[in-house]
Structure 1
Amino acid sequence: MHVRRLASTFAAAMFLAAAVASPAAAADEPGAVLDLSWSAPAASNQVFTTTLTCHPAGGGEEWYLDPVLACGDLTAAGGDFEALPGRLLSCEGVQGAAIRTTASGHWFGQPVSYDELHANWCEVRKKLGWVFIF
């Protein structure tokens, strides 16, 4: 009797462990959560930050311009900031303060770490598309 109860308890525990590790349980968690920031270090000590969640797309702050577009750009690039589609812009002659952009977090389980200094806002938009428009 004890052996049967023990075996049944063990089987139930294994079933629960498999259910917790199943893709259906993981589907409830976002595919990406990224902490984003931008600043103009030479012009100001201010740093602007937000959290971007993708799959499903959402922004951590109500003032984030468009998380659906930002997540679309990141999805097209496979989460790689160096491969973002950017925007077709001509930044020739555009002046302004240098802008530092950073990102950290995860993209479908892969760690993300990005930090770059750009010549101005036009260059940010040209290279990174919608991701840092907040």
Structure 2
Amino acid sequence: MDATQSCYRAITRTNMTILDADNRCFQLGAEHHHDAMLTSIGDELENQFVKDLAREKNPTFDFVMLGAFGRSNNGDKWQWMDGTPFVYQNWDRGMPFGKRALAVLVMNRRGKWINHYADRILSQYNAVAVCKFRL
């Protein structure tokens, strides 16, 4: 548990898509009688915590699946799925890119954020998803 009054769990599965990951978070939350979905990130400490949790689950991960989506290339049209204000941002250099297609948010090994087109398969990568349980 952290200052957000939340618990976290990192999950992996072969050929997991963002939708699969979010559904699994929802199932895990229901099993424990809490709301759960892919994590939002509110500040630098939470970003580091999520990166470290993913690394503990899978030291060789390529991406961490996060719970945000957007369409804008300047970061101002992004939303966290859980309704957390999209204030803190940690975009990698040159990110986000593109304007038209719906994109999802992933974190790279350095803890920087990258947008990834939602219609492209993320399951080809060595990905970890992090669920956030609201207590």
The TM-score with structure 2 as length reference comes to 0.25
Question: What TM-score comes out, normalization by structure 1 length?
Answer: 0.25
Give the structure with the higher percent helix. Answer: 1
Larger radius of gyration: 1
